[in-house]
Structure 1
Amino acid sequence: MSVSSAAPALRWTLSRKIAAVLAAAGIGLVIIGATGYRSVETLDDTAAKVDHTYQVLAQLVGLSASLKDAETGQRGYLITGDEDYLAPYTQARTDLVAEQQALRTLTADNAEQQKRLDTLAPLVDDKLAELQETIDLRGGAGGFPAALKVVQSGAGKTVMDQIRTVLTDLQSAEVTLLRARSSAADDSATRAQPVIGFGCGALLIAIAGAGVVLARRIAGPVHEVTAALKALENGDLTVRVPVHTTDELALMASSLNAASSGLRETIGGRMGQAAEALSREATQLTTISSRLESDAAEVAQQAADATTSSEEVSHGVQTIAAGAEQMSASISEIASNAAQAAEVAQQGLAVANRTNEQVAELGAASAEISDVVRLITSIAEQTNLLALNATIEAARAGELGKGFAVVAGEVKELAQQTAKATEEITARIGAIQGSSESAARAIHEIRDVIQQIGDYTTTIASAVEEQTATTGEMSRTVAEAAGSSSGVAGTVSTVAEVASSTADAARTTQRTAADLTRLADDMANLVGGFKH
């Protein structure tokens, strides 16, 4: 049997709750990650720009160093006249071209720096021209004095001062950019640090709080369901689990409540009623079997009396036969014997009628027992069906219903024992009914025979005056009566045996009724072991 219960609609399932917490944590991580990524991206961009600025500064330093190398080589040659001193100068001229080109490439996005490089380029060319002029003069006819005169003119120093001014402006501009970019990197890091730090802390707190709340909402219903299952294990069918949420735990609690209600209705209601009905019918069967035993004993006693009467009839008929042989000597003796035979026949007829009535009552009692047995069989089948339903309900509960599955199996076994006992009772009652019908037919035959005996003795009494003429006929009639009286004795003996068998069957029925009573008590005790 199944019991329906309104299950809560699953709106916020456990998976949705956990997914919501994880989604919130994911959103927080995305925000923090995006902030961190943006900061790192800014730092990378700033670092690239700073590195670019350092490259420009390095090129400016290199250009300044190349100019100094050119002057150093020129001075060494002017002083010594040794061309080996011109190596730095020669290398510087090549380096200056490359360094100016590198500076133009590095500052291509900076118009101000490009203008300064435009100013620097002719100055560098002028400086190199002035250096080359002095070198040429030193190697020419004028020699060192001619070269010294050009140097002393101050034109080279003037150009070099202008170059230094432009280089200083270029370096100052790059240093300013370096400071601005470093400041921007610091600002980005300063902004990102609290966002990442506080964001991570807040996210951890939020996740921990959500985890605690979610754990409480899961652990609480689980503890309640566990307590309810322990109560069911102890036989308490009144337990109910409160439903607080709309998730799987609420569905589990509702299912447990429905199962508990179904068990309470099955065990406390129908099985209890079945046990009470079985007890009542077993009591009624005991009463009927007791009455059947009493009636069978009475039938046996009446059969014994009928046996005695039939023996008396047989003896009387034999006496009549003897008197028939001596009819000629004593007609009065024949009349006396005929009267005695008529009286005995009447007694036998009365006994046969009573026996027939008692056997009819025995058949009616057997029919009543059959009705009771059919009722018990129906109850056993219903009990077996209830046990099967209880087994199904226990199987649905899984591990939670194992204890009750054992109880349902015991109830089913008791129902099967009841069905077996009722089958045995049915068989025995069928035998009793068959024997009762046989006894009724035999008693009917006895009654007919006794009636014939009465007729015969009446004929004998009325024909006493004609005894002489009918002696031969009377002898034949008395011989037939003797045979019939012997048959009566045998039939009555059979009735006595049938009555004895009926008494044995009644005692067996009583024992079966006692077994049914014990079975009903066991079922009542089983049902009483549950709280419902």
Structure 2
Amino acid sequence: MKFSIATRLWIPVAVMSVMTVVMSLGAASRTRSLLEVAQATQEKQQQRFELALRWRGLTEANASRVQAGLAANDNAVADAMKGDIAKTTETINEIQKQLEALAEGDDDKAAMARIAERRQAYIATRNEANKLKAGGDVNGAHQALQQKVVPAIEQYLVAQQDFVTLQQQRSAALREAAGAERMRTVWGVAALMTLIVGLLALATAYFVRTISAPLKSLMAEAERIGEGDLFHVDRDYSRDEIGDVQRALAAMKSSLRKVIREVRASADGMQTASQEIASGNQDLSHRTEQTASNLQHAASSLAQLTGTVQQSADSARTANQLAGSAAEVAERGGTVVGEVVGTMAQIDASAKKINDIIGTIDGIAFQTNILALNAAVEAARAGEHGKGFAVVASEVRALAQRSAGAAREIKALIGDSVAKVEAGSQLVRDAGATMTEIVASVQRVSDIIGEISASTVEQSQGIGNVNGSVAQLDQMTQQNAALVEESAAAAESLSDQARKLTALVGHFKVSDPKPGSVDAVGVTPPPAPARTSAPTPKPAVAASMAKPTTTRPAAAKPAAARPSPPKAPAASVAKARPAPAAPSTPKQAPAAAPSPSATSAPGDDWETF
């Protein structure tokens, strides 16, 4: 049967208490009994002692009276003391009887016998002396007093004194006996107390061993837990509070093993995740810095595009003015072409009339040639008289031929001119129609250029808004870069903490340590994943950011309107992030899309971001 610790602790106390109570009651009863016996014996002895003293005193008084009566010369003294002597004698007889009744031992009886014998001798000598005194023999009485009565009295008193001494010795013996009995009682109590203490010590040693052994086992278990050994489990539990503590400790170790396994797995996962986060943050930092640089270039390009659009707007306004002037010139050209068409018609009519005139001249030349031929024939007939006329006729004929040739050439030229004038008229008519179309087209172009001018103005405003948004986005990207740097540092710190946690958790053994097992060699942190890109140094990004700021004054206004420290909290960045998505002209917002498309890598990084 197993007892609890409280029971084992209370058993010695209860036994000690019970035995102490029993011993105390026994000692009290023994002491009371001894006290009663000693008190009764002492009272009896005291009574004997007092009676003996009284007996001796009365005897001395009577002896003095007898001596005084015998020593007197007459009987008057004796007669005067006779009554006192008789009373004292009666008292002495009563005391003697009482002492004889109280006598217990042989010593008392022997002493009483000696006293009785000496008293008889004393009484005999006293009576003898009294007889002498009564007979008138005073001298004989005096002599008997000195020789017999006084020695008898002395012997009688010596016997009484011996009895008194005996009673004193008896009283002392009784006191010594009572003291010895008390000492025996004390020693008995002490021996019993020693026995009780010894038994209590043995019981205490046994109970201490039954408590200390499980406590040592519990302490060893706690030391093993302190050393990180959660695998070893002692199944030998005592059936007491320490056993309950051991079972609770075993349950705690089981729970700790589960927790340590989960914490170890979580620490490993957290370390891997923190390393991946750190690597991802490094890549994100590099990409963010590239994005910031691209945004700087985009802002610079937008600033140039703003100037270009402004120039386009100016050119569009100039083109609109030139288109208006061209429309006016085209209208005037149409009018002039109309006039040219009329003039060409008149030239065509004049050419036809010239052709008719030339035909008439050609006919006249033919007729003149015929007449000259006839004149030559007639001059030939006339002979010498007709030579001059023949010469004139030949000259006229030559002139007629030349006139006919010139008329033919003029006719050919006029025909060609008429054909060309006809073609020119057709062309002029076509030119008139074309000029009409050109005037209409120029008017449409003027209208389109006006729309282009208005659109260019809107584009200029939209690009200005986009430029401001890009400036804000640039600022936010810089803040994001700073936050990414902080996040990378925090991830590195988290990775270090995870490694430390893994090392701390690796201190605990939660399974049977075998060669090559995780618990035997501790937890080895997984290798850090290879980083895909190295972070760009921060001063280079700052230089790339500082370069285009002088070329885009439009970015200064949003930056001044929205100041924020480089290391802004995530909440402020989250609030500031939707700002670029709300330009004044939402239709022109896609105009900023071609800027990141110029370099495909930063756009991909931004989509990844």
TM-score by length of 1: 0.46
Name the larger-Rg structure. Answer: 2
TM-score by length of 2: 0.42
